[in-house]
C-alpha cells in the first residue's frame, strides 16, 4: 500500500463555511491577528482571546465536512493515509480520517496557560462545554487557554509530520498558500521520486524543485479529480 500524505490548509475547509483568516472578508479584517493569535495578545486581554475561540468553536457546530474531507477519508481504503493539517477544526476527523496531525493545535481542546503542551493538562471539550470562561482552571491551577499554536510559538507536531512526509510515495497539498512556515518547508522533506499534487482554485506559486501536478479546483472537485488520476495510474 502506498503512503499518501496530505498537507491541508484553510482552503480545505472554506467550502464548509469556516472563515479563513487571509481572504477578503476573513477574520483578520475583523480582528488584528496579533490580538487573537499571539501569546502577547492573550497576556494583554485573555478574556477577548478566550471569547474569540469560544465563537470559533460555536461555528464548528454549524459546519460539516465537505466532499474534499469525505473523499480523503474514503481514500484510506486504498492508501496508507496521513493528513497533516494547518487547520484547527475537526472536519477531517468528522469525515472519518483516522490519522490526522494538527500542526497549529485543535479548536476543540484547551490547555494550561503555564504549560500549554503538557499532555496532562490538555482537555478535549464536548460540544456542550464549548464555552470556557475566565476562572476555568487547568489541572496545574492556571487559566485554561485554547490549545492553539499562536504566532511566535513552537510547532511541536512538525517533527512528527516530517517523519511521515519523508516516507511519502504521494504528497498532496490542498488549500494552502505554502507561505506559512514551518508547514511550507515540508515540501523539502518529500522524497525525490514521490509524486506531488497541488489542489487549489487560485494560482499558487509552487517555486519548488519537485515536479508538481496542479489541479486548479476547490477541495471537493479537486479531491474527486485526484482520485480519478490516482486510479488511472
Longest CA–CA span in the chain (Å) reads 56
| DSSP secondary structure letter of residue 42 | H
Beta strands in the chain (DSSP E): 3-8, 80-85, 100-102, 105-112, 123-124, 144-148, 170-174, 195-199, 212-215
104 is catalytic: yes
Query: Judging by beta carbons within 10 Å of its beta carbon (0-12, 13-18, 19+), is residue 67 exposed, middle or buried?
Result: middle
Q: Which residues pair with 173 in a beta bridge?
A: 7, 198
Q: Cell numbers 471569547 label which residue?
A: 51
Q: Say if CB 114 and CB 143 are below 8 A apart.
A: no
- Active-site residue (options: 92, 99, 104, 213): 104
3-state DSSP call for residue 204? coil
Q: Say if CB 224 and CB 74 are below 8 A apart.
A: no
Q: Say if CB 91 and CB 67 are below 8 A apart.
A: no
Residue 23 to residue 19: CA distance in whole angstroms:
9
| DSSP secondary structure letter of residue 24 | T
Which residues are catalytic, by number? 104
Amino acid at each position: 500500500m502506498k503512503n499518501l500524505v496530505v498537507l491541508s490548509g484553510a482552503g480545505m475547509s472554506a467550502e464548509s463555511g469556516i472563515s479563513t483568516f487571509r481572504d477578503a472578508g476573513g477574520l483578520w479584517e475583523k480582528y488584528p491577528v496579533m490580538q487573537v493569535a499571539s501569546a502577547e495578545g492573550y497576556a494583554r486581554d485573555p478574556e477577548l482571546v478566550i471569547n474569540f475561540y469560544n465563537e470559533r468553536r460555536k461555528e464548528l457546530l454549524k459546519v460539516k465536512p465537505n466532499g474534499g474531507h469525505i473523499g480523503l477519508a474514503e481514500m484510506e481504503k486504498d492508501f496508507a493515509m496521513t493528513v497533516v493539517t494547518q487547520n484547527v477544526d475537526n472536519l477531517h476527523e468528522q469525515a472519518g480520517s483516522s490519522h490526522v496531525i494538527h500542526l497549529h493545535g485543535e479548536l476543540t481542546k484547551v490547555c494550561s496557560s503555564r504549560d500549554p503542551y503538557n499532555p496532562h493538562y490538555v482537555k478535549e471539550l464536548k460540544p456542550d462545554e464549548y464555552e470556557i470562561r475566565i476562572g476555568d482552571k487547568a489541572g496545574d491551577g492556571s487559566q485554561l487557554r485554547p490549545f492553539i499554536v499562536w504566532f511566535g510559538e513552537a510547532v511541536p507536531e512538525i517533527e512528527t509530520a516530517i517523519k511521515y512526509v519523508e516516507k511519502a510515495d504521494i504528497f498532496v497539498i490542498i488549500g494552502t498558500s505554502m507561505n506559512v512556515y514551518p508547514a511550507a518547508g515540508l515540501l523539502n522533506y518529500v522524497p525525490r521520486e514521490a509524486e506531488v499534487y497541488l489542489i487549489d482554485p487560485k494560482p499558487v506559486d509552487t517555486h519548488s524543485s519537485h515536479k508538481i501536478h496542479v489541479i486548479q479546483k476547490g477541495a471537493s472537485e479537486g479531491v474527486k479529480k485526484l482520485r480519478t488520476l490516482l486510479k488511472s495510474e
